[in-house]
Structure formats: C-alpha cells, structure tokens
Chain A
C-alpha cells in the first residue's frame, strides 16, 4: 500500500528533474540519465516570467487557503458547539441541511454562484473564492467538530460552572483545549480543500495577478504539447505545504480521527 501511494510522488519527483525530451522517452527512464534542476530553477527565479508567475500564484493560493481556514474554524467551532450542546427547534433538520450543499457536484453551483458573486461585486477578487470555499468546507467542518464535542463529557463543563465559570469561560477554558485536535483536523481539511480547488478559481478569477496555483499549473499544458518536467516540478512544489502541514500536525490529526472510536 505504501508503494502504491508513494509511487506517483516518486515518479513526479523523478520526472521533475528530467529534461523535456527525457520525460518523453519510452521505455521510461526511471532514473534520469542527465538529471537537471532546470525546472525548479525556472519556477523559483523571480527574474524569470515563469518564476514570477509561479511565486505569485503560490502566494495567492496561500492567502486564499489560510483565510478560508481561519474563517471556517471561526464559524464552525461555535456552530458545532451549538449543535452539540443546545436543543432548539429544527436542530436536527438544520444539522442535516448544512450538508445538502456537499451532496451535489461543485459544477452545478458554478453559474449561480458566479452570478451571485457578480451581483456582490466579488468577481475577480479572492473574496469570491474564500466565500465559495466556505460553502462546501464549513458543513463538513461543523459535522467533524460536532462529533468531537459530543465526545467531551458535559460534566466537565458543569463542574466548571459550579466553580463559578460562565458558559463562555467553560467553553473557552475547558472545551476548546480538549477539542484542539478536532479543530486542527478541521483546519487541515479546510486548508487542503481550498488549496487544491480548481473549477471555481478558474471561473471567478480573470486577472493574471490573482490566479491561484491549481489554475496557474494548467499553463504547463498547451494545445498540442505539455511541459512535463515543469508540470511535475510545479506539482511537487504545490504539494510541499500540504505535506509540511501534515508532518507538523499529524499527531493531532490522528487523534481527531480516532477520538470518536471509543465511547466515553
């Protein structure tokens, strides 16, 4: 399974250090006979137009993804808590309703959302993407966090209240630290969703200086040809933030996924 998962990554990395001609050889060269970092040099060279574009697209993706993540966490944390702890009319219906958006393919919402963004004056802004990504990132974030809160014993909060804490203080000082792995997992999920999204970014942004990485990477495909080493180098660079994020926060993510496995 590890080989199956790792092979595409290894192949991507090896292709990225081949020349354009070597990348097209058949049978394929596993290890390039003449390895070169030319594709990376081009991508990271701010003096080069390819490098300028790539670095700008990278920054744009980072900005959109971080903003989406922060907003998703800020909204999902109280929403999920409310669904977990409070009883109010229509609670069950609303809880299922938030997931409705995710039951349909993204392309169905493309034109309506584009028209909405146009009316709001948000076409050609990163705000249009952040808002759109929230529409499909938030529901799952709320579901994920709600499950997490359900597993935190309500008695802990009651004890804090008896000790004089307000509900907000109990939430902030007791529930939040205990739910940190869940919040981190939610943040990672939101970040990856926004980082990889293509269709909305390709449609809503029409200025070169605003494009995000998934759209920018398409530029390695031409009508009749593909710059495979450039494409693979850019794809590898694009995967770096996600890999780093996972490596740093892996223990929280695993805890979040396994927390609900045992009933408290």
Chain B
C-alpha cells in the first residue's frame, strides 16, 4: 500500500502554512519549549521521545500528593464506539489519578458529546454544577462570559501558557482573562477510498487538491458507480456539521466573521460575502445539482457517515485519525469473510490534507477540549475544592496524560506531550497520524465569543439546510444566516 504524498502537498501549501502559523502564534512564541513555527511531520518526529516527565512529581508541586479532599467532575467521555485503545487510556487515567491522589474522593461523570452542553447549562441554572468540567472547545467562552467559571491559567497548575497552542489559549480567554486550560487539540484530515477512486477512473493515490475538485470528483464517482462521492454532514444542532463545513467556507475565503484572518476582531459579519456564498454553492451543487452526496446528509452526523464509508458507499469524508483505529478494532472483532472484507477497507483507506480553496487557502477547524473550574455558587453544595480541582487539572493537562488521553484521535494540549516517548510510540503505531498532525498549523479556532455555539450549531446548519432543501436560494440562505448573526451579536437573540 502506498501512502499519499504528504511531503509534496506540504510543499505546495508552504506559503499558506506560513500565514496560518503566524495566525496561530502569539508574540510569546519564542518562549515555547516546542517551536510551532517549524511545525511539520519531520519536526514532530524529531522531538518525539526526547524528554521524560514525572507527572506525580510535577502535580505534587501544585497539590500535595497526600492532600485530602473531594472533587466532582464532568467530562465528555469515550464510550463503546470509540477505539479500545482510547477507552483503555481513559480507564488508566482515572486509576492513575486515584493512585497518585488516594485521599481525593473523585466523583466523575462521563457524558456524551451531544448531551454535555445542554446538561451543563441546566445544572448551572439550578446551581447544581460539578466543581470541574471538561468542555468542547467552543463551550468555554459562553460560560466564562456568563460568570460561571473561575479564572484558571496554565500557570495555576505548574505549566506555562506558551506550552499550549496560541489558538487553543484564545478559546479559553474572555475579556483579557483566562478561564481554562486546553486538554487536547485536533485537526481533521481528508479521508478517501482508493478502490472507489480507481473504479471511478480517478487516481487512487491522489486526493482532490481543491474543494472544486471535491465537487467534481464526487459527481464523477456518483455518475460512474452510483454511490455517494462525498460524505456531506448538514445535521442541525450537531457539532459535526460546522467541523466539516467551516473548512470549506474558510478555504473559499469566507467566514462567519474574520476568524480566519491573522488578527480577528469578530466585528465584521462575512457569511453573506461572495466567498462564503461560493462555499455554500459548492455544497448545493453536490447535494441538489449533482445528487452526489448521501440524501440523508440533512440528518446525518459523522457517526452515520462512517458506516457508509466503511461499507464502500461513500468515497470521501473529513474525519479524525481515529477512524483508522476504529476500523482496526472492527476488523479485529470480525470473523471469517467479514474479517477479510474489513481488511480490504483498511487497505483502501487513505488520508490526505484537507483540500484548498480556489486561491490555495487551506483551513480546518482547530478543535479540542478545555478544562475549567467553576465558581462555588454554581456548584452542588456551594463549595469548590480548589486544591483537588487543580490536582485533576494538572494531571489531565500534563505532557503524559494530555498525550495519552488524546492517543488515537487527537493531539496533546500541552505541547510538551509531543516530546514524550508515548508520542514516539504513537507515531510508529498509528497510521496516518502524520497527516492530521500536519493539519494543525492550518487550524482556525472558532470565534472566541459567547454566541459561537449558537452560530456554529444552529445558524450554520440552518443556512445549509435552507439552501439544500430549496427553502431559500443560496444567496437568500447566506443573507439570512448573516442577518441572524448580526441580530445575535447585536443582542437581538435568535
């Protein structure tokens, strides 16, 4: 099996990379122990396994290891569908924390991706939240702006802010103050099925270079083989939708605001710009004109696209490196002829960089999660055990655990995680990790605004659905969405 030509793609995108990296970097970049200005698969390989870290010793300096306390903690968990490897690391984490801090009574609850925000909001209204929470990256600012969160920065738990991606740090900042610490950061890749490409008359080892090519390839695959070309996701109120549409929007030069610019101000709404409309038109072309994406895209989330991809019914999709591990798990648990078929799917999986827009711009959502400590008045019982909370925060954001907890599907929030021996092991064992790690410099953080969850989870999917269902023209859908964002940011609400 031949891997995609990652090096060539990186050379082609070098100029854009430099621009994107400068977007991600703050003025304090020189103080970083990891030099993100040099970011490339080769650089990541060169630093992997170069440093040892002692988590217990480092966190013991923040909260003594014999500290006696109590902690309640909610987080987005990993569950039955996730790779075994990742589930094992989550189990190991809580065992290790309890062994390191035997006198902290920890009561953790794992919640599903789509439940966490709603449940957390309800709990806060009843002053019954947990002491700590780990939220998706776009949640922190909403809760910080409403006054629910305590100030918390990496320095509070023994780390340096410079040891975290500047883009990730933006997602925990509100009005100049820091309210959380990134636990992991992820950028997705472009995945395609080489066998379908070959049968459709496309080069099996060459992914589409631009989003326009995605549209063309999708049509060619559908017209030739009668299956879906691209795994479009347009479900309402599901985080999967903006994670797949925004890279396309940004690549065409559009944006909700100016979030893809080097120094965003979030003051100018650009959803109705010609560039944004071009991106929406591309989705319209695939769904309505060419009918080359799953008809169920309006209700699909990624969990629905993945089986279609694995069954050879979708040729291309935007997704995580963990999809490869999911496939390995499925193959390991299958028997007989199913095992062989699964191996065929694995052999035909290819990962590449996400396509660019017409002018060579490449972008991806800079995703991940952040950990936060709540103010006592919003916590069940009215008390926050800060020492216990800092122990947990330090532990999760340590180089060791921020790497292990992101092992199969993400990247460590603490950049020192890239220097650990586990990173080296990961690079050797996880196929295609290079590709999604190489996408990190192209990452664009969602706007650091309290209204961002509403914009990304409701307005953007609504815009897509309005255009794709024919309820509005592409122009009308984009104009309508832009007006909704203006109303929302102007205080008018949805």
Contact = CB atoms under 8 A, between A and B. Distances in A.
B107 interface: yes
B320 A224 contact: yes
B334 A206 contact: no
A21 B125 contact: no
A235 to B, nearest CB: 13
A249 interface: no
B126 A222 contact: no
Contacts, number: 139
A219 B240 CA distance: 18
Interface residues of B, number: 55
B89 to A, nearest CB: 14
Contact of A207 (B79, B80, B109, B342): B109
Interface string A97-119: 00000000000001100110110
Contact of B337 (A33, A111, A114, A219): A33
Contacts of A225: 81-82, 303, 306, 323, 326
B187 to A, nearest CB: 14
Interface string A208-225: 100000000011111111
B123 A206 contact: yes
A207 B112 CA distance: 14
Q: By CB atoms of chain B within 10 A, which of A20, A50, A118, A124 has the most?
A: A20
A224 B302 contact: yes
Contacts of A50: 80
A110 B311 contact: no
A223 B333 contact: no
A168 B127 CA distance: 46
B333 A38 contact: yes
A114 to B, nearest CB: 5
Contact of A19 (B74, B91, B330): B330
B47 interface: no
B292 interface: no
A109 to B, nearest CB: 12
B336 A224 contact: no
A155 interface: no
Given A220-B80, A226-B81, A19 B335 contact: yes
Contact of B125 (A34, A111, A230): A111
A48 B396 CA distance: 25
A218 B111 CA distance: 9
A22 interface: yes
B387 interface: no
Interface string A42-65: 000000011000000000000000
Interface in B278-328: 302-303, 306-308, 310-313, 319-320, 322-323, 326
Given A26-B312, A34-B338, A114 B109 contact: no
A124 B109 CA distance: 12
A158 interface: no
A223 B303 contact: yes
A114 B122 CA distance: 8
B109 A224 contact: no
B128 interface: yes
Nearest to B301: A224
Contact of B126 (A19, A21, A115, A223): A115
A25 B240 contact: no
Interface string B238-257: 01100000000000000000
B341 interface: yes
Contacts of B114: 221
A34 B330 CA distance: 14
A150 interface: no
A21 B332 CA distance: 10
Given A20-B333, A114-B122, A114-B125, A219 B80 contact: yes
A208 B320 contact: no
B80 A24 contact: no
B380 interface: yes
Interface in A202-260: 202-203, 206-208, 218-228, 230-231
B115 interface: yes
A111 B123 CA distance: 8
B368 to A, nearest CB: 12
Given A219-B80, A220-B79, A220-B80, A33 B338 contact: yes
Given A34-B337, A221-B79, A222-B78, A21 B331 contact: yes
Given A114-B125, A202-B115, A21 B81 contact: no
Interface of B: 72, 74, 76-82, 91, 107-110, 112-115, 119, 122-123, 125-128, 130, 239-240, 302-303, 306-308, 310-313, 319-320, 322-323, 326, 329-331, 333-339, 341-342, 380
Given A123-B128, A218-B115, A231-B80, 12 more contacts: A20-B330, A21-B341, A22-B334, A22-B338, A26-B308, A114-B125, A207-B109, A208-B110, A219-B112, A224-B303, A224-B322, A228-B307
The 6 closest A-B pairs by CB, nearest first: A222-B81, A225-B81, A24-B307, A26-B311, A227-B80, A219-B79
Interface of A: 19-26, 33-34, 36, 38, 49-50, 110-111, 114-115, 117-118, 123-124, 202-203, 206-208, 218-228, 230-231
19 contacts: A20-B329, A22-B334, A25-B338, A34-B335, A50-B80, A111-B122, A203-B122, A206-B74, A206-B119, A206-B130, A208-B110, A219-B110, A222-B79, A222-B80, A222-B82, A223-B240, A224-B240, A224-B319, A227-B81
